[in-house]
Structure 1
Amino acid sequence: MNPIIRFVITLVSASLASRVGVSDVTRTRMRVLPNDLDLNLHMTNARYLAIFDIAGMEFMIRAGLGRLMVGRGLRPLIGGRMIRHRFGVRPFERFTVSTRVLCWDDKWFYLDQRMETGRGVAAVVLTKGLVRDAGRAQTVRPDELLRSIGAAGEAPSITPEIARWLAAEEMLRVQDDC
């Protein structure tokens, strides 16, 4: 199935599903289809990222951010990802992507997403994302977004794994200057 078709199906089903809180976990269920496969007959690496995008959109819609974003002309953007593949996901194998917000700061939301099959966790990804106001060409603070959906609260502390990832990212930024 083309990722855009999966995306549309997820948009519709997420719009009809029960609302979740920002600290909740969503679970997006799918199956590996023939066009998801590479020459090794398992899900191609590029497809993982598309699947994680779709699962992240489900989380945003169910948390109440989807309607707000459409109404205000806001756009979600991914700033970085770190992924660990544990094993290949096979043709026609069912899998579930769990998505949760770990923490946020004054600019970024940090998500933990896991792809699980009946054989265990196939992949883990940490995602750094923000929301841009397209009309004003500026980033919308996470705490402002959360207040807009009635989910205001203290930002959870940056987790140790996020802190280590950000440190590694900073090291790569220095290499950009070469």
Structure 2
Amino acid sequence: MFPMVRLVKEFVKYRNAPALPYDGTHVSRHMCLPWDLDPFMELNNGRTLTLFDLGRLLLAKRVGLIATLKREGWGMTMAGSCVRYRRRIRVFETFEMRSRALGWDDKFLYIDQSMWKKNGDCANHVVYRAAITDANGIVGTDRVRRALAAETAAMELPEWVLKWIDAENARPWPPIQD
């Protein structure tokens, strides 16, 4: 189940947080709760992705994207992700989540998120490809940037993200069935 109580808590907690520039980083703190666990008593991999939603939505609010989505009647959907899990997060352990935009191409926004343990170790990291949508499908990022009034210079995507994009473009869709 989606952590609606946590989402509301985050929006209340950061209701007066200053706006962020498009390339700003939203930092939040969280705790691994008993209902976040897998059978090995650590943060479940699926729940990790759900918790990343909290940071991504607050980032979207603070850069003005949520207000723009409402005004334009648009939606936002995740169109892909690339995730790494490296360190366990155990019950009642606290961690810091960092969420930031990496940049965009003609169709997608790329969002970088990570969870950091108290000792400074990165527990996991994900890059999301997000699409802004309307009734006709994907809204081009030039139009989104104009609506956001994001007159920032193009943010160059890192080489490793470009390689991921190339790999995704080479991946068959729909998947090949045996």
- Do the two structures share a fold, i.e. TM-score over 0.5? yes
Is 1:112 matched up with 2:115?
A: no
CA distance in structure 1 between the partners assigned to 2:14 and 2:70 by the alignment = 15
CA distance in structure 2 between the partners assigned to 1:13 and 1:137 by the alignment = 35
Is 1:170 matched up with 2:169?
A: yes
**Whose helix proportion is higher, 1 or 2?**
1
Q: Is the 8 A contact 2:2 2:50 kept in 1?
A: no
CA distance in structure 1 between the partners assigned to 2:103 and 2:146 by the alignment = 15
Which amino acid counterpart does residue 23 of structure 1 have in structure 2?
Answer: D
Correspondence list, 1:16-165, <5 A: 16-119=16-119, 120-133=121-134, 136-165=135-164
TM-score, with normalisation over the residues of structure 2?
0.90
More off after superposition, 65-74 vs 10-19: 10-19
CA RMSD of aligned residues (A): 1.9
CA distance in structure 2 between the partners assigned to 1:26 and 1:157 by the alignment = 20
- Could you list the per-position Cα deviations for residues 14-37 of structure 1 after superposition, in whole angstroms to 9, with x for gaps in the alignment? 432110000111112111101001
Which amino acid counterpart does residue 6 of structure 2 have in structure 1?
Answer: R
Name stretches of at least 5 consecutive residues in structure 1 with no aligned partner: none
- Could you list the per-position Cα deviations for residues 57-103 of structure 1 after superposition, in whole angstroms to 9, with x for gaps in the alignment? 11000001111212222111001111100111011111111111111
Displacement of 1:174 after TM fit? 6.0
CA distance in structure 2 between the partners assigned to 1:96 and 1:149 by the alignment = 28
TM-score, with normalisation over the residues of structure 1?
0.90
Which amino acid counterpart does residue 123 of structure 1 have in structure 2?
Answer: N
